[in-house]
Structure 1
Amino acid sequence: MSLFVFGIGYTAGHYLGDARSLEIDGPAIGTVRTADKVEALGRKGQAALVFDDGHADPAIETALAQADRLLVSVQPGLNGDPVLSRFTDSIAASPLASIVYLSTIGVYGDHGGAWIDETTPAEPLSERGRARVAVENAWLSLGQRTGKSVQILRLAGIYGPGRNALDDLRQGDARRIDKPGQVFNRIHVDDIGRAIGQAFAFRGGCRVWNVTDDEPAPAPEVVAYAARLMGLEPPPLIPFGDAPLSPMARSFYAANRRVSNRALTQDLGVTLAYPTYRDGLSALWAAGEGRGPV
């Protein structure tokens, strides 16, 4: 088995680097946006090719023709998915049996804090979210046309090594913004890797899966727990209306929902290593995250 990845970033990079999640015997190769990143990954032993809006390495076509599995971790633009725009015919004609597309729970929009699952209609609040839904549907359509397994993983807020509340506190970037009733859904990057592996093995038709932990929680609680692990006083609460947020950051607070992972754990068979933020942060702290002067 061999793997091709469009978009080796934080999440796909962790998946590639986690030998436990890779059930492949052949090569794993993917794309990045610049030649500098190709060189940086090469120094770590990871082969990569350049693919961005203006250039695609010709070797991508050859690699696709030899791959059994495809992981897509490229954000769409408002005009669609750059991967499908450039490589639909090649992917359709390739021997690829299984495709996993990484999306976001942001497509659900706002549900006032209510529990939702994969049967809940996607009602995104932004044009960016509507573009994402269109791309999801395009991948599912490709799977239905070609008989390839296409699994859409809608990811919650991602945290893990180098991207967590412990490091935010150490760097002085952590804030506790108080919006009563607001919760966010999270997932550890290692558990995303477990979901990707199970999605590649799934043979029940093309489906959508929510990838999130067991416990949606208010952001201030997460920061407070990280502070307790570090032996610090948590930052003071800032009323949402007074918080100096960018328009992008403020838009995340417009959506309030509790996303169920029942299908992920029961139907897809993923056993989460970090079912709550407490499990994830405690493990990160034990591994040395957040250490050093504050």
Structure 2
Amino acid sequence: MTSRFFIFGAGYSGLAIAREAIEAGGMAAGTTRSPEKAKALGAAGVTPLLFDGTSLSPEIADALHETTHLVISIAPDHGMRGEGADSSQPRASVDPVLAVARDTIARSMPALRWVGYLSTVGVYGDHDGAWIDEDSACNPTSRRSQMRLEAENEWLALGKQTGLPVAILRLSGIYGPGRNGLVNLASGTAKRIIKPGQVFNRIHVGDIAGAAMLLAASESGGIFNVTDDEPAPPQDVVAYAASLMCAAPPPTIAFDEAEMTPMARSFYGENKRVSNARLRAAGYRFRFPDYRAALGDLWGTGRWRG
């Protein structure tokens, strides 16, 4: 039976998963809000469908009826209420897909075998630089991460209700072609911000797609950290990217003196080292286990620009 993937939110990560599904001999459909982006999805071999978060079109409902693997890559509270919608009315769910498609998923998707929800390691909050795994306490500090955790629990509850395997993929900082430190250096936006003791995990978009495909193929449910092997100080990553380009790295800036958006600054309020041991135990072998392997490949292949 041909695998039929449906990706709610076929953006950077969702499109990578769709492409992998097609390369593996399957089929993929994906949603977007933009007619322009729909054309790009079609050019990539993905069946494009418009979704504004208010209802399921007949075309989406038909595609879902045939779907074997469902991937959700839309953030909670994405503002997807559509023009004219009453924003004062509470949603049935913090997740925009479950808000309009819960019954469809539970009752009208006879071919569905697996669900994957793309979440974030932000749900763990701050652990003062300690190593954590999927059994560690979740203490999200930002509202966006709190809503992610709520959405995770809603998807896991739906899995329990239906008997479907639901995999929660907790992603660390995403990068890859077109989104990486090399691009930032070339554009002059790279910064080496120093906050003593601060580390971050990262994940190449190719490993997001690879991990999703492995979990989908094995119909594995549960929570999985999809993150690289090496949590590292952000300034080290910038310096390594500069070395690949034979360029001088930007000067260092103390965290307290750096000009940053409130969201960017909030990331520095969480410090943790995230383990990927469970995903490895499930059989996944990382293509890019650390930032050096990933940036080296992007630079060497010329794919860093996207």
Normalized against structure 2, the TM-score is what?
Answer: 0.90
Match of residue 302 from structure 2: 288
Provide Cα deviations, 1:20-72, integer angstroms capped at 9, x if missing partner: x85453x3111101222222322343211111134543211111111111011
Match of residue 287 from structure 2: 273
Provide Cα deviations, 1:243-275, integer angstroms capped at 9, x if missing partner: 000111100000000000111111x21100111
Matched, 1:29 2:44: no
Alignment of 1:31-110 (within 5 A): 31-54=31-54, 56-77=56-77, 80-93=94-107, 94-95=109-110, 96-110=112-126
Distance 1:221 1:289 in 2: 21
Match of residue 128 from structure 1: 144
Matched, 1:7 2:9: yes
Distance 1:210 1:44 in 2: 28
* Partners of 1:50 and 1:56 within 8 A in 2: no
Distance 1:218 1:242 in 2: 17
2:245 to 230, 244, 247: 230
* Partners of 2:130 and 2:272 within 8 A in 1: yes
Distance 2:304 2:51 in 1: 34
* Partners of 2:202 and 2:231 within 8 A in 1: yes
Match of residue 246 from structure 1: 261
Provide Cα deviations, 1:172-200, integer angstroms capped at 9, x if missing partner: 11000000000001011111111101111
Match of residue 185 from structure 1: 201
Distance 2:74 2:209 in 1: 16
1:163 to 179, 189, 200: 179
Distance 1:283 1:44 in 2: 22
Judged with a 3 Å threshold, the aligned counterparts in structure 2 of structure 1 residues 147 and 24 are, in CA distance, closer, same or farther, namely farther
Matched, 1:260 2:275: yes
* Other structure's SS at 1:41 match: helix
Give the Å deviation of 1:9: 0.3
Match of residue 18 from structure 2: 16
Q: How much identity, in percent, do the aligned residues show?
A: 49
Give the Å deviation of 1:128: 1.4
* Partners of 2:56 and 2:101 within 8 A in 1: no
* Partners of 2:5 and 2:18 within 8 A in 1: no
* Other structure's SS at 1:65 match: helix
* Partners of 1:29 and 1:47 within 8 A in 2: yes
Distance 1:244 1:13 in 2: 32
Distance 1:9 1:176 in 2: 28
User: Which has the higher mean CA deviation after the structures are superposed, 115-124 or 8-17?
Assistant: 8-17
Distance 1:50 1:244 in 2: 37
Distance 2:16 2:199 in 1: 26
Judged with a 3 Å threshold, the aligned counterparts in structure 2 of structure 1 residues 156 and 24 are, in CA distance, closer, same or farther, namely same
* Partners of 1:2 and 1:24 within 8 A in 2: no
Q: Can you give the 5+ residue segments of structure 2 that lack an aligned partner in the other structure?
A: 79-90
Provide Cα deviations, 1:95-140, integer angstroms capped at 9, x if missing partner: 2110011000000000010000000021100121111111100000
* Partners of 1:177 and 1:219 within 8 A in 2: yes
Match of residue 200 from structure 1: 216
Distance 2:289 2:43 in 1: 34
* Partners of 1:159 and 1:188 within 8 A in 2: yes
Normalized against structure 1, the TM-score is what?
Answer: 0.93
Match of residue 233 from structure 2: 218
Give the Å deviation of 1:219: 0.4
* Other structure's SS at 1:120 match: coil
Give the Å deviation of 1:242: 0.5
What amino acid is the match of 2:242?
A
Distance 1:54 1:91 in 2: 16
What amino acid is the match of 1:63?
A
Root mean square deviation of aligned Cα: 1.6
* Partners of 2:200 and 2:272 within 8 A in 1: yes
Distance 2:238 2:251 in 1: 10
What amino acid is the match of 1:103?
S
Distance 2:213 2:177 in 1: 20
